Amino acid sequence: MPVTPLFLRTLFLALVRLFYPAITVSGRDRVPVAGPVIVVANHPNGLLDPVVLRVALSRPLAFLAKSTLFENPLGRAAMAAFAAIPVFRAHEADTSRNEETFERCRRDLAAGGWLALFPEGTSHSDPQLKPLKSGAARIALSVEAAAGFDGRLRILPVGLLYDDKGTFRSAVTAVVGEPFTLEGLGSAWAADERATVAALTTRIGEALAALVVSAESEEAQRALMAVAAWTQPDGGRDRLRVEAEARRLAVAWRRLRIEDPDAADALTAAFRRYRRLVETLGIRDAAVWEGETTPGPAAFAASLAPVILLAPLALLGALLGYLPYRAVRPVAVRMAGRHTDLIGTLKLLGGLLFLGVTYLGLAVAAGAVAGPPAGLAALFLGPASGFVALRFGERVERRRELLRALWLRATRRHAAEAVRAQRARLTAEVEAALDRLGKPPGEEKKVGAAV
């Protein structure tokens, strides 16, 4: 049916927004108004990365997808919904068909289209970029060669950073770099196509490396993000500032390890002290515990009104959806195995399947017992009550943490003071280490300054 691609696209965009409710964009003003544009990005999260990019950039991106995803009707429909183009891998298909793929890319870009490419070639959970493939550079150069290197095509680098990509309702930051053209590469291309492809691939890699938080391990990457959040004046509420600071800290940390290992060890000890403190106290949001963002008792009591009003519908949603909701994660983790970059994709698809079947079954049962109007009402009420239950749980958890903070600050004032003092010491030690390294001209001294 003609409506199927539109329906699927709308559905998956809505599901990604539901899975990652906070998709923030740094450098949005760098996104070109019109194409042709090749968006190049890192690839940490399977099939969700191109959809997240489309949401973040608000542009109709096409993307390359492995040919095996087109081998069944549902896969073909999903790929058609996002104008995906098949790429044929040697161990899966006839690679000679990739010339058709590249020709379609060139044709779409020549017409002013947008194409998202992941030059690493595969999704992964490594905290560093993998060596880049040359496909993005070859496509870009061939498009420009056909246009006489007129400079219309732009390459837009984007770094994707997930708080916890496999966790439902977590956050994503998209960092947009400076777009660049291929104008002036005509003579180099005419002289040596292979060398020009290699040089452009290197340039793309350097642009992406500047936009991601690179570390030697996932644990180190999480530590960098944690320190970046903890040393912010607001405790890490501003995601863009945290992400920018984490990138800066990642660069500084690599230098510090080489140039001043004693200072690096001191920072590691400071990080561990603060982490032990907040874990012992069960703190998630330091700013709440320190009283910087906590409402007074009257404001807190007033905020309970919507929670109380939503409780009956939330209870219904929890009863209807609890079992399928809880079944999604273990199934997704088991199916993903070692490929943790696929957990988010599998959880989203599993949630759609498990909850969809549950709500549809309830609607059919209601229709059989009480007639078609009851079935239609149940078909609407199931997902609606499930969403209310989700939001209700988030509101209750937030208020539970606020209430606990109010209580402990009233009964254990020394705990809040200890958190504040330890965070101040950690911030001071990070600043001192950065001072010893020296800063580029014009960089703000204060940790947490936007970069």
- How does residue 3 score in pLDDT terms, banded at 50, 70 and 90? low
- What pLDDT is recorded for position 407? 76
State residue 446's pLDDT score. Answer: 39
Q: Read off the pLDDT band of 289 (50, 70, 90).
A: low
CATH of the domain at 100: 3.40.1130.10
Contact of 85 with 64, CB cutoff 8 Å: yes
Q: How confident is the model at residue 418 (pLDDT cuts 50, 70, 90)?
A: confident
Is the pLDDT at 439 greater than 60? The verdict is: no
Determine the pLDDT at residue 451: 28
Angle between helices 261-281 and 239-259 (to 10 degrees): 140
**380-408 mean pLDDT:** 85
Three-class secondary structure assignment of 36-72: CEEEEECCCCCCHHHHHHHHHHCCCCEEEEEHHHHCC
Same-domain status, 223 and 355: no
Q: Is residue 275 part of a domain?
A: yes
> Which residue in 212, 283, 200 sits closest to 244, CA to CA?
212
Confirm if 334 and 446 have CB atoms less than 8 A apart: no
Dihedral sign, Cα of residue 120, residue 126, residue 129, residue 131: negative
The pLDDT confidence band at residue 290, using thresholds 50, 70 and 90, is low
Q: Is residue 55's pLDDT more than 90?
A: yes
State how far the Cα of 165 lies from the Cα of 124, in Å rounded to an integer: 11
| pTM to 2 decimal places | 0.87
Q: Are residues 257 and 390 in the same domain?
A: no
Which amino acid, residue 41? A
Q: What percent of the chain has pLDDT over 90?
A: 51
Question: Could you give the CA distance from residue 14 to residue 20 in angstroms, rounded to a whole number?
Answer: 10
- State how far the Cα of 320 lies from the Cα of 298, in Å rounded to an integer: 34
Question: Do residue 92 and residue 175 come from a single domain?
Answer: yes
Measure the CA–CA gap between 81 and 79, rounded to whole angstroms: 5
3-state secondary structure (DSSP) of residue 213: coil
The alpha carbons of the chain give a radius of gyration, in whole angstroms, of 25
Whether residues 378 and 397 share a domain: the answer is: yes
Residue that wins the pLDDT comparison between 305 and 161: 161
Q: Please tell me the total count of domains within the chain.
A: 3
Q: Does residue 317 share a domain with residue 247? A: no
Tell me: do 155 and 287 sit in the same domain.
no
Same domain, 183 and 252: no
Residue 1 pLDDT level (bands cut at 50, 70, 90)? very low
Q: Which domain holds residue 119?
A: 3-209
Residue-wise pLDDT for 143-202, tens only, equals: 999 999 999 999 999 999 998 899 999 999 999 999 999 988 999 999 999 999 999 999
Q: Do 147 and 82 lie in a common domain?
A: yes
Tokens of 431: 């600043």
SS3 content of the chain, % helix, strand, coil (to 5): 65, 10, 25
> Which 3 state secondary structure label does DSSP give 160?
strand
Q: Which of 41-45, 104-108, 113-117, 298-302 has the lowest mean pLDDT?
A: 298-302
Three-state helix/strand/coil letters over 423-435? HHHHHHHHHHHHH
Residues 162 and 231 in one domain: no
